[in-house]
Structure 1
Amino acid sequence: MTEPTTGRDRLRELLDAVLEKDDSPLGDMAARAFSSPFHFSRRLSRDTGESPVALRRRVLLERAAWQIGQGTSVTDAAFAAGYRSVEGFIRAFGRAFGHPPGATTPGSGTWLPAPNGIHFHPPIHLWIESRPEERSGMDLVSLQVHHDIADTGHLIEVAAGLSEEAYRRTHAPGRTVLEWDGPEESIAAVLEHLVWSKEVWSASIDGADFPERGADDPTGLAARHREIGPHWIATVEGIGRRGAWGDRLVDALCDPPESFLLGGVIAHVLTYASHRRQLVREMLRAEGVEVDHGDPLLWLQAHYGGTS
């Protein structure tokens, strides 16, 4: 009788299936894991916060960066990473690392932002951090960002128990948190702004197009939060890992474009997210809902056993 496979061993099997061969279609990855494409993609996305294709692309770019830093030619690294053209590889590499492959040196960082702590790490091929949020010990920014994402998800879940009328009821006519964001008079509006602010700032940092605003009902908002939350964590941790707090972002989504320090952007989001979460609690209590205080001390004790 074979021993049961642990969850972590099964995750490693899935990751091996993703990375076994270069340029594999999703169906082949799933077959190597003895799974259907649908269940394979769903399981890996749930366990890692990334789709199989996105995870594979990122890890192979990390491997390519390491190879180039060790002296491999850009052409050889491009084809080893599964790219069909060197030009396509150079574009993808530049978007990911912020510099062309030719500027890579042995001392250059090779890890890209990841929501799961899974990275290429020579010579064992993969490094899987058990607690990526604790990578730097008690890092204050990491703690605040993780708490913000967790607490926002918690409040969306609590708000899902309200009636539609209570969810959209005006509690403070004309109240605005930031003038350019417009009024935030209801639980629905404040929660939506908590998610929307990260969607917009992530797009600015990524150099992406202005995002479309999604559904603001609790179910739709929860789905948006599940998507942007891991991405925002990975973005902030990537900035910290590169020591890029003092780098400037030219935000082309502003009209006219404005320049901001990356550290200032993160501080801005954290400041107003904290304020908005307390506004939601105030309105929930006005609706007769018992809700906690959102104290990071209690959150830390609950999730990490009160360790310091």
Structure 2
Amino acid sequence: MDDHVTLSFPKMLDEIIEGLEKDQKELPSKYFYDQRGSQLFEEITELEEYYPTRTEMRIMQDNMPYIIRTVGSDIILAELGSGSSKKTRLLLDHFPSITSYIPIEISEQYLAKVVQKLNQEYPDLQIEPLCTDYSMPFQLPAIAQPYSKIVFFYPGSTIGNFQPSQAKAFLNNLSTQLDPGDGMLVGVDLKKNISVLETAYNDRQGVTASFNKNILRHINRKLDANFNLNNFRHEAFYNRDEGRIEMHLVSRTDQTVTIEKEVFHFKQGESIHTENSYKYSLADFETLVSEWFSVEKVWTDSDHYFSLQYLQKI
């Protein structure tokens, strides 16, 4: 059965057409994530080359008492892009008191499966799933029980997928749902050796390439388009000037693609820009969030590859 997301058909179509009409063709990275895309991303997190997930997990495991002390108890934990909720289980298993857990995910079918499993594992926990595009303004569900604060959990360096101006708009949207003293526990990938970065996005097994191409598969299925996935190759590289990894799909040949009644022409070597992943210094990230949040605590690994940061709404 086809999985359904909260994004309407016209909105998706409009965004796809707008992106492909640009001189540098692009597609919104959120469209990686149908059920298949979510599964592929979980496979990426297990890859030897992909350091962010295991490094962040290690940071959480090594610093859990300090994280608990910093974040506090009796919280509503709202996770943005919850996926399989693997990292969240560390919090659910160790925090003394979580009033409610709100997993927020764009793929409804994938979210439903994860929530079903969580309900079995944590029968006493109130779970309020929310299927939405969290990059746009949204509203958290109302929670009846008393709580001390709301804490957004945004692991995995996903905030790096936003361009800095988009990240600021995103942070502003989140801040409207928080009161002073509420917080955000966020994973931030740090600037490092370029070879480490590029290897992480070009794994030997080709899982990241499949994930990248899945955006075309998703568009084919939802919008009756006719992308030939074999006619595109995956490319990921570090853009030093912008401080980001860029992912592209490069056309292997001159070709034409139809989406609804719109026709798009691709020259051999022309690319579709599918994702950015910005890497920050600690000082740069603090500046990025400073209008809405103060950085209360930063935990890093010994190589300073990655950071987990607790931000407090000001």
**Same-fold call, TM cutoff 0.5:** no
- Which structure: greater strand fraction? 2
Q: Give TM-score scaled by structure 1 length.
A: 0.25
Rg comparison, structure with higher value = 1
- Which structure: greater helix fraction? 1
